[in-house]
A = this chain, B = another copy of it.
Amino acid sequence: MLKQMEAVAAGGETAVTRELTYAQAVREALQLAMTRDEKVFMLGEDIGVYGGAFGVTDGLYEQFGPERVRDTPISEAVIAGAAVGAAMTGMRPVAEIQFMDFITLSMEQLVLQGAKIRFMFGGKATVPLVLRTPAGSGTGAAAQHSESLEAWFVHVPGLKVVMPSTPYDAKGLLLAAIEDDNPVIFVEHKLLYRTKGHVPEGYYTVPLSQSEVKRPGRDLTVVATSIMVPRALEAADILAQEGIELEVVDPRTLKPYDAGTVTQSVIKTGKALVVHEAPKTGGFGGEVVAEIVSGAAFDYLEAPVRRLAGLDVPIPYNRELERTAVPQVEDIVREARALVQGAY
């Protein structure tokens, strides 16, 4: 509903049923941003002729040419650093790190330079850059190609962190991220790339830092990120048949995090479960829980607040082990049911 209104507001969109995949939505956002603003350009590994490791940038090289869709050598530190340097001097780079795992090679340039420069320089520089990267497990790519590291970046003042779960949000949030004058880490999920959803044509933005209630419900607030949003919605469908109504909230932007929407939800439901793919220990879930129990929702809590997240294990190769390592629909169903029924 809200989505349709936004779309209408953005330009009289009528074909509200147009469906795109998440990957197409990301691509369309890149295309629109590059068309609209010649300062926007892309750099990364194999984003040109190859079309990106997941095909996301397919066709953009042909449309915008090698100057604006720049294939780089395998040099993640300078990919990030060059993006920061270009951003400080008038460009609006969109860098791609081919798998989120490889961002471990960009940390210094992102965290000690990109995130801090504006502050260290007394607000006298601006670093408008977006770093897109695919995260997550489920592809059998094992421990060095399955990372979900968003929590690290949430902990870095100066960065913003966006993690869309639907094609609609992916497009609108990416356009908002590119418009934003701060460095934004934009985390895409590999398993979402092929999921489909309504995506209006034309330019629209989804504001950074607005959590969204993806499904209203009265019994339990489930805060889920990225791939866990569709899993939570599926769990909600299953539990609805048992008369249990989950309210599913998607933060969408993890930093700055709109905790208020979750607080409102928990005040209503009295119970909360936070679900993410990254390992539980030290994950974003801790932040969500800590915000729930620190303020207005505390007095309404009727049950322990729980996290359901990845096990503290590197992602294994074996298919069954890989599934076991991160929450699946049935795990959400089980945990949610237990919390609602007080069986904890």
Q: How far is the CB of A307 from chain B (nearest CB, A)?
A: 6
Binary interface encoding of chain A residues 273-292 relative to chain B, with 1 for a CB under 8 A from any of its CBs, else 0: 00000110111111111100
Q: Which of A144, A255, A316 has the most CB of B within 10 A?
A: A144
Q: Which of A26-34, A107-115, A223-231 contacts B (4 or more CB under 8 A)?
A: A107-115
A155 contacts partner chain B, Cβ-Cβ < 8 Å: yes
A112-B104 Cα distance, complex, nearest whole Å: 8
Check A240 for interface membership: any CB of B closer than 8 A.
no
Q: Which of A287-343 contact B (CB under 8 A)?
A: 287-290, 293-295, 298, 301, 303-307, 311-314, 316
Distance (whole angstroms) from the CB of A342 to the closest CB of chain B: 12
Instruction: For A158, give its contact among B115, B284, B314 (CB under 8 Å).
Output: B314
Flag if B278 contacts A285 (CB, 8 Å): no
CB-CB < 8 A to A286: which residues of B? 282, 285-290
How far does the alpha carbon of A303 sit from the alpha carbon of B294 in the complex, in Å?
Answer: 9
Q: How far is the CB of A211 from chain B (nearest CB, A)?
A: 15
A144, A155, A305, A313 — most chain B CB neighbours (10 Å):
A155
What distance in Å separates the Cβ of A9 from its nearest Cβ neighbour in chain B?
Answer: 31
Size of chain A's interface in residues, with CB distance under 8 A?
53
A215 at the interface (CB under 8 A from B): no
In this assembly, does A202 line the interface, its C-beta being within 8 Å of a C-beta of chain B? Answer: no
Determine the chain B residues whose CB is within 8 A of the CB of A142 once the complex forms: 120
Decide if A294 touches B314 in the complex (CB within 8 Å): no
Minimum Cβ distance to chain B for residue A46 (Å): 19
Say which residue of B147, B284, B303, B314 sits within 8 Å of A120 (CB atoms): B314
Interface residues of A (CB under 8 A from B): 101-102, 104-105, 107-108, 111-112, 115-116, 119-120, 142-144, 147, 149, 151-152, 154-158, 255, 257, 278-279, 281-290, 293-295, 298, 301, 303-307, 311-314, 316
